[in-house]
Structure 1
Amino acid sequence: MTDALLALVGNAKAGTISVVAVDDDHLRVVGTSEVGAGCSTFAVDAARNRVYTAVKEPSPGIVTLELDRLTGTLSELSRTEVPDALAYLTLARGGELLLGASYGGGWGATWPVTDGVVGERSKPVQHRNVHCVVTDAAGQHAYFVALGDDLVAQCAISRDGALSPLEPPTVGLDADAGPRHLILSFDETSAYLMTEFTGEAIRFDRDTETGTLTRAESVRAHATDRGLSDSELGADPKEGHLVWGADLHLAREEAYLVCSERTESTLAAVRLDADGHLGEVVALAETQTQPRGFNVTPDGAQLLVAGEASGRVSLVGISLDGRLTELDQVATGEGPNWVRFV
């Protein structure tokens, strides 16, 4: 194995995770490992070469895997059952705390992690269709995005991982916006959210002392000239040609916020000003079919986007002026929808 940058791609329908090397603007699949059906999210502890993935079969659970960077294989270390399938996992506190969101179960929670073994679940935060959870870098505050309730629940995390609501406990959004994924800016003074049903990128001001969010500006981050209509919970976006927003990430040292939309299979680059405020969409590019998940390389100059309906991932360059250009693509497995660099 060379010193190429490595990414993990979760192929949910295939039940596998592929290790993909990014080297000189080219992609190469290093290895693909069976991990379990429905592996639609995972979190990476790169320092320990551990990966925590959620699976649906034979029962909902969190599987701890060990990554061999030389061979690109993942080996199971332990498995912990959970009440419902998870839609999102993330790590905090140097890999000693795992947080998850269950869309179907309508809850979010934390688990302590000791030597890769996931412990007992905390008392959950409960809202409809919890799709995402993120924390600040210190692991003091957590944000659970509830698509079904159109809100973000904001919590403090105690030393033992218990969750308690901030004041106010939630930040509301417009009805039927369908909030989906959330990220924080590098200095953690802003939070950016992507909505599924309206395709909006929404910025929140974040108080770094209290952790609370306050809604600021927003912009439509999808193809607005292709006849897409806003969606709603339970609607079929492909049949109705409806907005189907998915993921978002910062690029080019926070000069741009890149967002994906699945019905028209596009990536949109939104310009950010020096304070992180949202500007206009400066580039819109077609990409892999149904780009459910993607991620940006550590240098911020490229992104790896997974096409849920194509079975492939694309490496896309992000120019200084925000243009998005495909550089290479490769097949990984059926239903790829999650990307993380290691």
Structure 2
Amino acid sequence: MKFCLLSMEPHHPDHGKLYTDEQNHTNIWAAIMGGTVYNGLLFDRGDYGLDYEYFNEFDLVMVALRQETIEVGLKVKQKSKTKVVVLLDAEVEHFTTHITRDLQAKMVAFLNMADAVAVLHEESLPFFQALTFRPVSLVGLPFPLKRVRRMCPPVQKREEIELGSIIQSSMVRNRDGLVNLAVLSEVGMTGVVDIRDPVETEYIQSIRKHLPIQQIRFRYNNLGWDHYITQANYSLLGLHLDNRYSWGRFPIDCAAVRMPCVAPPSLYTQKILFPRLCVPYYDIEGAVALVKKLVSDVNFYEEAVSYAQSQIELFSYEQCKMRLLNLIS
């Protein structure tokens, strides 16, 4: 099957070529399908020097849908004859709240023109099934499990908490970082923060002036995801109190390097991998209690890790690819 993914991931040298990069992000679909990737907006702008008839060369085009790619997806379906599957590459709130009414109408039109719709959270199934007569199913994101196991052998864990996303590189958009820091201030352990932008450091330092956080260790991530995952392997456990109903990349990162993760069940992978460590994102006392029990109770810790290991194959290349092929068949 000749496969192409249109996403919003930044430009990569392998765009338009055989894509082989195996990291925990949307573009991995091209890697496991033996296909290629283009940035949807750059394609529409003409940066690749191609028109939409070009997609006739492919058996399947996957459009990773966000507000920026709705019109791109419509053009693929209108101007080519290829089969198109929509991958809803954001939480439901993105599509219901954060895009204009005009774009919402275009999105519904696209969902009904596409050949199938793939979602990243089972709780969004009824909503999208109501919007389209096309097949809708949970497919998810493949995870490079075998590769991570080679990169990240068992190591001696440090008594540190790996924190999920703190803040994006915009001062106006915060992803529940303050909730993570509130828990950290109550447990008295060092937190590790993967930093991608100086504004994140400034934000955390300003909070630390007023919260009794023992220590924050900043990991400046200018070497990419491989460096992040090999370093995260040394953390004792993960914490990510995120209020979105989304796929949840962080819990599966944690499971892959054999550390428990405390997070809300609204993250789909958390619910599957760490059901005993689920806590509502606003439940500070509950999260603190789970962290302290993981640190003090070796059996509880090992049981959480063992259970996650028994479930993680659900997100393997083979399982995700099978779900996609079943959806489009």
The TM-score, its normalising length taken from structure 2, stands at: 0.28
The TM-score, its normalising length taken from structure 1, stands at: 0.27
Which protein has the bigger strand share?
1
Which protein has the bigger helix share?
2
Based on CA coordinates, which of the two structures has the bigger radius of gyration? 2
Greater RCO, 1 or 2 (C-alpha within 8 Å, sep 6+): 2
